[in-house]
Amino acid sequence: MATMPRGRIVGTGSAAPKKILSNADLEEIVDTNDEWIVRRSGIQERRISSKDRNETTTDLATQASRNALDMAGISPDKLDMIVAGTVTPDRQFPSAACMVQESLDAGNAAAFDVSAGCSGFLYALSMAHNAIQCGTCKTALVMGVERLSTILNWEDRGTCVLLGDGAGAVVLTAEKGDNGILSTHLRSDGSLGNLLYSSEGKSSLPEILDCVEQKSFYLEMEGNRLFKRAINCLTSIAREALAHNAMCEADIDNMIPHQANLRIIQATAKNLKISMDKVYTNIHRYGNTSSASIPLAMDEANRGGHLETGANILLVSFGAGLTWGASLLKWTM
Ligand code: COA
């Protein structure tokens, strides 16, 4: 039987809003302090988008995508598929992916969104990779993009200090051989959906006026209960990815985790016996950008020369749903 092609990342890109909101700025908004935020989460500042600065979800995703396409040297009309991981599209419909398809003028691409909380990028990557393996797609654009600042309750210090806005994108092409995406692994547990959710809107839209009055469209989170579960889920899915590829922890050259909390990242790396010098983090500068965090970190790591040819790279994420996932890549660019 002929070997199946796999998706290989041939371009990365990212985009971040201009406005930086520091911990000191937050001290003016809620009862918090820099020391608490840094000690509990590792976050020093985050970016906050504004539609007045052309930083909508579509704007950020388009900019990240153009950067990734430029690096790949691929024109938008070559794309067969555009998949966006997001929970903060500009509109309920059309999808963020369709809006980016229009702004890129990617006339030959199917386009759709994936809603998987902070795991949105890994879910989207998996969809595109599977389509490439099936032969239904040859060139795909995969994005993670969020404007979480638009659904934050700026009176809730337990959540508003943790999250931020941004976008990241990768271009995948179909390739035979040993390089590229080795495997993707996805899980969910909807029974714990109430640990992290944004309550109203969507099909409850007729009740939108009640919703505004009750401020019930904000993101709600039980951080404490998520914390331990995140570490367990990230560790177990990473081990599953390693076992699937007959690898062990020592084979990992780089880990690019979802950036939710530095302590979660450190505990996961410790469980996996992966030294923190192999783990790329930028949470101190962006906070938790949900599905944008992995592609944003990957683009920085790539452009900063941290990813070497032949490196085994582990991606892991955890988020609302609950959802979690992992992917192993053999890097060449
Ligand atoms: N500034 C100052 N104090 C704060 C605060 C803030 N921004 N937010 C909460 N506190 C207070 C709490 O009110 C609490 O006070 P109390 O003991 O008097 O009741 C105290 O700090 C401890 O709160 P707690 O929630 O137990 O802190 P924690 O050590 O669990 O850290 C998180 C909180 C949110 C940073 C942590 O639980 C976390 O990161 N969880 C995972 C979140 C996550 O990953 N979410 C996304 C998944 S993708």
Given the residues 185, 258, 261, 302, the one annotated as active site: 258
Which segments of the chain have a pLDDT < 70? 1-2, 200-216
CA of 158 to the centre of ligand 1 (A): 6
147 in Cβ contact with 165 (< 8 Å) = yes
Phi, psi (deg, nearest 5) at residue 48 = -125, 125
pLDDT tens figures, 294-308:
999 999 999 999 999
In Å, how far are 70, 79, 272, 302, 312 from 75, measured between CA atoms? Answer: 8, 8, 39, 21, 28
Residue nearest to atom 24 of ligand 1 (CA): 224
Residue nearest to atom 25 of ligand 1 (CA): 224
Residue 328 backbone class (left: φ over 0; alpha: ψ -120 to 50; beta: rest): beta
Given the residues 23, 67, 118, 185, the one annotated as active site: 118
Q: What's the pLDDT score for residue 333? A: 86
User: How far is Cα 123 from Cα 95, in angstroms, rounded to an integer?
Assistant: 16
Q: What's the pLDDT score for residue 1? A: 44
pLDDT tens figures, 84-143:
999 999 998 999 999 999 999 999 999 999 999 999 999 999 999 999 999 999 999 999
pTM higher than the cut 0.85: yes
CA of 308 to the centre of ligand 1 (A): 36
User: Is 118 assigned a catalytic role?
Assistant: yes
CA of 221 to the centre of ligand 1 (A): 10
In Å, how far are 238, 241, 314 from 272, measured between CA atoms? Answer: 8, 12, 11
Residue nearest to atom 31 of ligand 1 (CA): 40
Q: What's the pLDDT score for residue 212? A: 61
Q: How many CA atoms lie within 13 A of 252 on its CB side?
A: 27
137 in Cβ contact with 124 (< 8 Å) = no
Domains of the chain, CATH where assigned: 1-333 (3.40.47.10)
Q: What's the pLDDT score for residue 243? A: 98
